[in-house]
Amino acid sequence: MRRTEVIAISVDPGLKKRMLQLAKLEHRTLSELIRECFRRYNTKRELQELALKGIKQSKKLGIKEKDIENIIDELRK
């Protein structure tokens, strides 16, 4: 049984040409290149969401930016 699914995307011809060039340059398939792009994009989004949660929590707890280093130092002891 196939563990992947095929999806279709639309890109302009110039972008497709560049994608194919990069895939060839990196000795990857186009699918591998696109999967890697999505993984990086998704990681970036997750980090942004985590940072936003941290900001909200620090505001809730009354922690200021200047307090961060002291808090980290205390946790490391």
Could you read off the pLDDT of 27-60 as tens digits, one per residue?
999 999 999 999 999 999 999 999 999 999 999 9
Sequence spans of domains, the chain: 13-76
* pLDDT tier for residue 61 given thresholds of 50, 70 and 90: very high
Q: What are phi and psi of 8, to 5 degrees?
A: -115, 140
In this predicted structure, the answer to whether residue 77 has a pLDDT above a threshold of 90 is no
Cβ atoms of 33 and 22 closer than 8 Å = yes
Q: With a threshold of 0.85, does the pTM exceed it? A: no
Pairwise CA distance, residues 59 & 71, whole Å:
15
In this predicted structure, the answer to whether residue 2 has a pLDDT above a threshold of 90 is no
